[in-house]
Structure 1
Amino acid sequence: MTDITVAPSRRRETTRAKLFEAAAQVFAEVGMDAASVEMICDRAGFTRGAFYSNFESKDQLFLELITHMTEAKLDEVAVRVRAIEPGEIADPAALVHQIIGVSEGAGMEPQLVSELRTQALRDPRMAEAYLAWHDGIIGRVEQIIDEVTALHPVRLRLTAPQAARLLVDIADDTCVRAAIEGCSRAQTEELLKERLQQIVVALVDIG
């Protein structure tokens, strides 16, 4: 019985993962409006039936894709926070470097976030979804900040909710501007790390 129930679930996870990957590529290349279910299915190597057995619409796929990518990145950051030994962090800039590491931005595409914001400006339903998504990010970042302050001698000059919102806004603005300027992913990562270090230095006392 286990094989019968688990195998379809694993196949569904594999199908969804391939659709997410294909959708990320298509949305980044042509935007959400120009993207079609057929384009995504062709890129993933699936039929429309496979698509609609996993997602009700292109909008739902887009929202789930953004959420999936964001959660994966924040999960990675949370793991990095828990891996820091007490006393290992000497200054705020080092804190950012230790937590972000070399992979910041690897799980997100600034173009996709910009596309979500554009759709939210046009469609009240997407606006509601965007605000819920954005608030969810801030909530996760606040949790990470709380973990840092609980595990290490870190003092904030703002409350955790205020610091979380500021960090998310700075990261969002940096990624969007980098996308508009045509920066590469590596350039975007470096710029983001630099700006986050600057703001954390202003926000945090260590020791």
Structure 2
Amino acid sequence: MNESQKAPRGRSREATRAKLLGAAAEVFAEVGLGEASVERICERAGFTRGAFYSNFASKDEMFLELATVVARERVSAVRARIDELAIDCDVPDVTVIIRALDVVGDDRASTMLMNEISIHAMRDADFAAAYSAQIDEVTGEVVQLIDEITQSRGIRLRLSSVDAARIIMGVWGDISSRAAIAGLNAEAMAEQRTRELGQIVDLLLDR
């Protein structure tokens, strides 16, 4: 097989994996990991069980890869927003932090999915180790965001940027969960997150 034949097959496999992961994200968020059967995921994606097992050894392996994909997307989104806001000096200090974080999962399905991933990590030690590393990576990006903002604008925090990042991410998760439970749409969730996160960030600034 020549290189020109291998490339289309490789792209086809990547497309299949991506479609299976997308379907899994929807099903996991809807019914949880326990009820999300391979058959249900394949039906949603439009593939056979054979397609599933040619890409993943098990449902847990798929779940871990999905968590990896979500974490990488979050990191990339926050990093891109940091770069975008770095040149906007007219945005208030509190607002710029919130706007950077608002790219991270802004709908009910995303919130349900991340809660499902967290619950699974609590039950599975191997999964927990991998997921903890992802959490640290995302938190590190938020720490960098906070450091860049405080240094460029000459402002100080009441505590370390690491502690501030953990508080912000914890509050963000709690707000998103409560908004999802209340059945709020993406726009209403964003409004609530902006309001409550603004209050927290304002308390963290040493004025």
Q: TM-score, normalised by structure 2?
A: 0.83
Aligned equivalent of 2:105: 105
Q: RMSD of aligned C-alpha atoms? A: 2.6
How far off its partner does 1:61 sit? 1.3
The answer to whether the Cα contact below 8 Å between 1:22 and 1:44 also exists between their aligned partners in 2 is yes
**Percent identity (aligned):** 41
Which runs of structure 2 are paired with 1:55-94 in the superposition (5 Å)?
Answer: 55-86=56-87, 88-94=89-95
Distance (whole Å) between structure 1 residues aligned to residue 5 and residue 153 of structure 2: 47
Moved more, 141-150 or 112-121: 141-150
Structure 1 segments unaligned to the other structure (5+ residues)? none
Aligned to 2:156, the other structure's residue is in SS state: strand
Aligned equivalent of 1:20: 21
Amino acid at match of 1:125: D
The answer to whether the Cα contact below 8 Å between 1:41 and 1:51 also exists between their aligned partners in 2 is yes
Per-residue CA deviation, residues 12-57 of structure 1 (Å, 9 max, x unaligned), is 2211211121111111111110001111111111122221222221
Moved more, 115-124 or 167-176: 115-124
Distance (whole Å) between structure 2 residues aligned to residue 66 and residue 105 of structure 1: 13
CA 1:170 to 1:51, structure 2 compared with 1: closer, same or farther past 3 Å? same
How far off its partner does 1:196 sit? 2.0
Structure 2 segments unaligned to the other structure (5+ residues)? none
How far off its partner does 1:59 sit? 1.3
CA 1:63 to 1:39, structure 2 compared with 1: closer, same or farther past 3 Å? same
Aligned equivalent of 2:138: 137
How far off its partner does 1:152 sit? 4.2
Amino acid at match of 2:200: I
How far off its partner does 1:98 sit? 4.2
Aligned length: 205
Q: TM-score, normalised by structure 1?
A: 0.83
